[in-house]
């Protein structure tokens, strides 16, 4: 490695394509669904997404997904409507 060259694993921020790849989504999906939820550094037309911000987003959304899970379907909480207007 050349003196002064950065190691890829020490990057502090990623561009949009790299951030999308790091999250496992396409750049189009990233732009349409994720970009507005992430803080970024803007310099001119360039946007850089801090690696810590991507990790924060993952942590927040993973917790939210687990917290919003619907209760399991059981016979006790399933109601079937009766065609005569009542419920069984």
Would you tell me how many other CB atoms lie within 10 Å of the CB of residue 19?
Answer: 25
- Rounded Cα distance between 41 and 12, Å, is 11
> Residue 6 — left, alpha, or beta (φ > 0 → left; ψ -120 to 50 → alpha)?
beta
Contact predicate 13/49, CB 8 Å: yes
The answer, as to whether pTM is greater than 0.75, is no
- pLDDT score for 48: 97
Q: Which residue has the tokens 């803007």?
A: 42
pLDDT digits (tens, 9 = 90+) for 29-88: 999 999 999 999 999 999 999 999 999 999 998 866 665 655 556 665 555 555 565 555
């Amino acid at each position: 490695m050349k003196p002064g060259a950065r190691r890829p694993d020490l990057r502090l921020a990623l561009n949009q394509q790299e951030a999308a790849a790091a999250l496992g989504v396409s750049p189009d999906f990233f732009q349409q669904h994720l970009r507005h939820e992430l803080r970024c550094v803007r310099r001119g037309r360039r946007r850089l997404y801090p690696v810590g911000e991507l990790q924060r987003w993952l942590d927040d959304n993973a917790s939210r997904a687990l917290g919003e899970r619907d209760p399991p379907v059981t016979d006790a909480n399933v109601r079937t409507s009766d065609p005569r207007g009542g419920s069984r």
